[in-house]
Amino acid sequence: MSSEEEDITHFLTHWFSGLMKGLENIQAPSRTTILRECGQACARSYTAQVFHECWQQADGEMTRFLMELAARFPEAEYTQLDTHTLQVHYRTCACDLVRRGWVTSPTLCECSLHNLQANFEQALGKPVTVTLKTSLLRGETACVFEVSLNEVNNHALPTIS
């Protein structure tokens, strides 16, 4: 790593530490608003398009969709628990900010929740509800999310901007 890269990493580690301390000290509704926007922005940067492509390749078949996702994101396991519930299991944190060591606060897990929600909603074209079950940043052995497929009339898939 070059001296410049070390300087940037040092700066970003400290900057994100300050951001996370600030987020931890604000009321939950405000924190949720910020982390929802961050998670959705992260999804727009790459993953929402991949989820959308996987859904299209699966021709709307959930089992094939989950297999396509697993092929594109091999660090994750996608399981259908029942007709309306999916589980996403990460053995390692999928967040680039965590993997680079810039963020270690479990508060950031809410961002991942909103990211996953945006990814599934983009692909399926309908609202979903995502719940964080376990988190590596909370000291647990994996990150596990439960995705509830809300019953909504089918409508056209949204476009990606």
pTM of the model: 0.89
Contact 128, 99 (CB under 8 A): no
pLDDT digits 0-9 by tens, 2-42: 999 999 999 999 999 999 999 999 999 999 999 999 999 99
| SS3 of residue 34 by DSSP | helix
Give all domains of the chain, ordered by start, each with its CATH number: 3-149 (3.30.1380.20)
Residues of the chain with pLDDT under 50: 152-161
Cα–Cα distance for residue pair 133/142, rounded to 1 Å: 9
Contact 108, 137 (CB under 8 A): yes
